[in-house]
Structure 1
Amino acid sequence: MTPADLHQALAPLTAQLSGRPLDDALDTWLNTQAGPGTATYAAIESACRAGVAEGWLCNREGGGIKYGRIFKPAADLHGFSVDVVDMVDIAGPHHSHPQGEIDLVMPMDGGALFDGRPAGWVVYGPGSAHRPTVSQGRALVLYLLPAGEIVFTR
């Protein structure tokens, strides 16, 4: 696996997300169309697991969290940036999402939760904020950020 494999898995999905409101309807749509048990989810999860194992993904560490921005916002990703974090029973730094955030939760331990949610997609609308938290084990979380916008709370 390579970063190009992850890019290839994400580009068709970001094309379908482009221009859609980041809301509960999108959360439902993503979990139905690209959630656990779908080919899209499997391809993204496989690339992320391989990337972590091979060291090209989540290759930085701070505060007990492994992380990394693998793709800056790009036209071929329809303006989304892509970050992936590797978290084990920890709360990350509080931040807000000026344009929203779309997260893919991939438990590495069967029961791991992200902000109380199991495997699948979580959509946060524009202006939302949280302290991202993984509980009950280890999870990889992929973040799609419109225009790469994220604001960390000081």
Structure 2
Amino acid sequence: MSPDDFERLIAEATAQLSGRALDETLDRWLNETWPAGSTTYEALAEACRAGVAEGWLCNREAGGIRYGRIFKATPRTHDFSVDVVRMEDLAGPHHTHPNGEIDLIVPLSEHATFDGRTAGWCVYGPGSAHRPTVANGRALILYLLPQGAIEFTRQSAE
């Protein structure tokens, strides 16, 4: 697996996501069409694991979170940016999704969850916000952000 191979794999998925509303219907479609164990889910999950092992994914670290934006939003990725994050039993920084967010959840520990969800997909609609949280172990999360839009909440000094 190389970054170019990963981009082609992402593009195959984002081609089917482009132009769709980021809502509960898409969440349900992803989890029914590409559930954990499906060919598409497993190809993306394995690509993420390989990229981390090879050092070209999650190549930065802050606050116990390994992360990295591998692709900016471009026509090749159907205007989705692509980030992959590795977390273990912690909550990440609070942020808002101006255009929504699509997450692929890849548990690395048997019972790991992301925002209370197990292996599969999670869709947040435009304007939603959260503190991404991995519990019960380690997980990789692949984030697809339309137009790469994300706004981190400013932390107040205490």
Which residue of the partner structure matches residue 64 of structure 1? 64
SS in 1 for 2:36: coil
Aligned pairs (5 A) from 1:10-25: 10-25=10-25
- Give the TM-score taking structure 1 as reference length: 0.98
- Give the TM-score taking structure 2 as reference length: 0.96
SS in 1 for 2:82: strand
Query: What amino acid sits opposite 2:54 in the alignment?
Result: E
Structure 1 runs of 4+ with >2 Å offset: none
What is the percentage of aligned positions where both structures have the same residue? 66
For 1:138 and 1:41, locate their aligned partners in 2 and report how far apart those are by CA, in whole Å: 18
For 1:108 and 1:7, locate their aligned partners in 2 and report how far apart those are by CA, in whole Å: 22
User: What's the CA shift for 1:37?
Assistant: 1.4
User: What's the CA shift for 1:23?
Assistant: 0.3
User: What's the CA shift for 1:20?
Assistant: 0.5
Query: What amino acid sits opposite 1:97 in the alignment?
Result: H
Count, aligned residues:
154
Which residue of the partner structure matches residue 138 of structure 1? 138
For 2:67 and 2:146, locate their aligned partners in 1 and report how far apart those are by CA, in whole Å: 18
Gaps of 5+ in 1: none
For 2:9 and 2:34, locate their aligned partners in 1 and report how far apart those are by CA, in whole Å: 11
Is 10-19 or 82-91 further displaced after alignment?
Answer: 10-19
Query: What amino acid sits opposite 2:11 in the alignment?
Result: A
For 1:79 and 1:52, locate their aligned partners in 2 and report how far apart those are by CA, in whole Å: 23
Gaps of 5+ in 2: none
